[in-house]
Amino acid sequence: MGLLMLLHVLLVAAAARAPAAQAWGKEGHYMTCKIADGFLTSEALTGVKALLPSWANGELAEVCSWADSQRFRYRWSSPLHFADTPGDCEFSYARDCHDTKGNKNVCVVGAINNYTAALQDSSSPFDPTESLMFLAHFVGDVHQPLHCGHVDDLGGNTIKLRWYKRKSNLHKVWDSDVITEAMKDFFDKDQDAMIESIQRNITV
């Protein structure tokens, strides 16, 4: 009995800690989707819920880092996460939206167009659940300044630095480190509190 009790306590504690143990890149996507979710019309929300996979438990935010987990399974999707420029910060779709082999439309802007069009077209051959999961992820990515950075430094990935005591790079600082640190320093690692605070500061 004592052992079962201990096991129970450990499991409950582990479950309570699970969200904080996720990679923070995930948390950034979770938070942006959680906030975006609140702006959906009831019609859009119904449409979204109908497309969510069962493992999402009816929550759009749960699927918003799925695209990162598919970068190896779907290798072709890897260059769809960003749109870098040659250094002038003036994104030109015709000039800049391509992969390293020059294939057109292969960048985050092309991907947003691709999956928006797919979701609007009921005869699209693409899996609509995947289209939604990609779209929700890429709209998050395109708002991360270093996902629209410079080709030379791979969107800040080659700019190595130290974030407090850990080795990091400029891209990762924006993707995760700054979020982790803010959550720890200002919100006692409470993700919901951070989401609520951001929501209170949105004026639209």
Ligand X SMILES: *[C@@H]1O[C@H](CO)[C@@H](O)[C@H](O)[C@H]1NC(C)=O
Q: Estimate to the nearest angstrom the gap between the alpha carbon of 101 and the chain centroid.
A: 25
Q: Which lies closer to ligand X via its Cβ, residue 113 or residue 180? A: 113
Assess 64 for contact with ligand X (CB under 6 A): no
DSSP-derived 3-state class of residue 150: strand
Q: Which lies closer to ligand X via its Cβ, residue 114 or residue 176? A: 114
Q: Which of 76, 86, 158, 186 binds ligand X (CB under 6 A)?
A: 76
On whether the CB atoms of residues 156 and 149 are closer than 8 A, the answer is yes
Alpha carbon distance, N-terminus to C-terminus of the chain: 55
Give CA–CA dist 171/154, Å, rounded.
9
Give CA–CA dist 170/156, Å, rounded.
5
Q: Which of 65, 114, 144, 169 binds ligand X (CB under 6 A)?
A: 114
In residues, how long is the chain? 204
Q: Strand pairing partners for 114? A: none
Kind and range of the H or E run holding 117:
helix 108-120
Smallest gap from Cβ 103 to ligand X, in A, equals 8
Assess 65 for contact with ligand X (CB under 6 A): no
Smallest gap from Cβ 76 to ligand X, in A, equals 5
CA angle 166, 170, 173 (to 5 degrees): 60
Mask: binding to ligand X, 81-110, rule CB under 6 A, as x and -? Answer: ------------------------xx---x
Q: What part of residues 124-183 is at the interface with ligand X (CB under 6 A)?
A: 126, 130
Give CA–CA dist 87/150, Å, rounded.
5
Q: Which lies closer to ligand X via its Cβ, residue 110 or residue 149? A: 110
Q: Which lies closer to ligand X via its Cβ, residue 83 or residue 195? A: 83
Assess 28 for contact with ligand X (CB under 6 A): no
The DSSP secondary-structure symbol of 22 reads S
Q: Which lies closer to ligand X via its Cβ, residue 28 or residue 110? A: 110
Binding residues for ligand X (CB under 6 A): 76, 80, 105-106, 110-111, 114, 126, 130
